[in-house]
């Protein structure tokens, strides 16, 4: 129950009348590069930030958690730069605490029961990213990026419907473990031809990780023509391979462990755009 009714003010509730917190934001970074040879070397990065709660944290019907949000990030990798390739490959560790989420939970044992639950939790991930640009001949450019990551929940526990739930070490919702981009382009005279292929591995759709969205590709392509420095014509095709795919979460399914009732069921969600063509004219003055 919330104490907020007509005429309510914060002095009416003892838990709100003695909030005395430091709201200094702290952030710092350290970047280091070492050349082993003229074109090859190692890189290291460290970033640390502290963030305080924003005003929306005080608009809830419960006592706000005013603990700072701390995010340490560390990365170590290599680079290689020549006339034909510019490459960076590095491993990264990231952790973030005191994330806030509100869930509208449905009792898996009795779907007529629903409960709104607030959860504070941490996220931790270890990843590896390789990003390079190839220019094998004049006019042609190929950008490629691939990321492997494993984002998981930490300290993720709550009580609902008389049961204690703990989803620490479960996969984070809506985040793919493998991401890939392939972006070729070719420029000749005043023409530029380009394409973009983006890959997302499966993404989990509920807290138990029983439901997930299948891997998908998203594709884009186009051509542009530069008339002069002021006028440019362009045409873009979205999803030119006519792929299918969805992402996000499935409301009401957060606690289910048997995914079979959802197979073959029409659900609302976020879906990739269908095959779409676009034309544009740009004027620059």
pLDDT of residue 248: 84
What tokens were used for 59?
Answer: 């608009």
Domains in the chain (CATH in brackets) are 83-92+99-283 (2.40.170.20)
Pairing of strands 270-271, 69-81: unpaired
Question: Which bin fits 205, alpha (ψ -120 to 50), beta or left (φ > 0)?
Answer: alpha
* Residues with Cβ within 8 Å of residue 258, at least 6 apart in sequence: 210
Query: Do you know the residue count of the chain?
Result: 285
Mean pLDDT of 224-248: 92
Read off the pLDDT band of 2 (50, 70, 90). low
Q: How far apart are CA 282 and CA 229, in angstroms?
A: 10
The dihedral formed by the CA atoms of 201, 202, 208 and 210, expressed in degrees to the nearest 10: -150
pLDDT of residue 100: 86
Read off the pLDDT band of 1 (50, 70, 90). very low
Read off the pLDDT band of 209 (50, 70, 90). very high
Residue 49: pLDDT over 80: yes
**Model pLDDT for residues 106-145, shown as the tens digit of each residue:** 999 898 899 988 899 999 999 999 999 999 999 999 999 9
Render 59-76 in DSSP notation, one character per residue. SSSS------EEEEEEEE
1-5, 243-247, 254-258, 261-265, range with greatest mean pLDDT: 254-258
CB 115 within 8 A of CB 148: no
* pTM for the full predicted model: 0.85
* Residues with Cβ within 8 Å of residue 138, at least 6 apart in sequence: none
| CB neighbourhood size of 221 (10 A) | 17
């Amino acid at each position: 129950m919330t104490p907020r009714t007509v005429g309510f003010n914060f002095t009416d509730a003892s838990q709100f009348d003695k909030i005395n917190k430091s709201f200094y934001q702290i952030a710092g970074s350290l970047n280091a590069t070492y050349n082993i040879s003229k074109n090859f070397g190692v890189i290291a990065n460290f970033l640390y930030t502290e963030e305080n709660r924003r005003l929306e944290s005080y608009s809830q019907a419960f006592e706000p958690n005013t603990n700072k949000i701390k995010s340490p990030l560390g990365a170590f990798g290599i680079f290689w730069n020549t006339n034909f390739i510019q490459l960076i490959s590095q491993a990264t560790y990231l952790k973030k605490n005191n994330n806030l989420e509100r869930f509208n939970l449905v009792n898996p044992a009795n779907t007529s029961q629903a409960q709104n639950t607030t959860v504070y939790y941490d996220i931790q991930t270890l990843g590896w990213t390789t990003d390079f640009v190839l220019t094998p001949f004049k006019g042609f450019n190929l950008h490629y990026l691939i990321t492997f990551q494993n984002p998981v929940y930490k300290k993720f526990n709550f009580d609902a419907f008389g049961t204690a739930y703990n989803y620490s070490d479960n996969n984070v919702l809506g985040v793919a473990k493998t991401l890939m981009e392939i972006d070729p382009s070719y420029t000749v005279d005043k023409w530029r031809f380009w394409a973009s292929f983006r890959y997302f591995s499966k993404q989990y759709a509920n807290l138990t990780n029983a439901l997930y969205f299948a891997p998908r590709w998203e594709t884009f392509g186009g051509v542009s023509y530069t008339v002069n420095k002021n006028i440019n014509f362009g045409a873009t095709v979205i999803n030119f391979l006519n792929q299918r795919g969805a992402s996000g979460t499935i409301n009401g399914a957060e606690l289910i462990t048997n995914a079979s009732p959802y197979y073959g069921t029409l659900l609302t969600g976020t879906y990739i755009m269908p095959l779409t063509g676009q034309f544009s004219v740009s004027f620059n003055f």
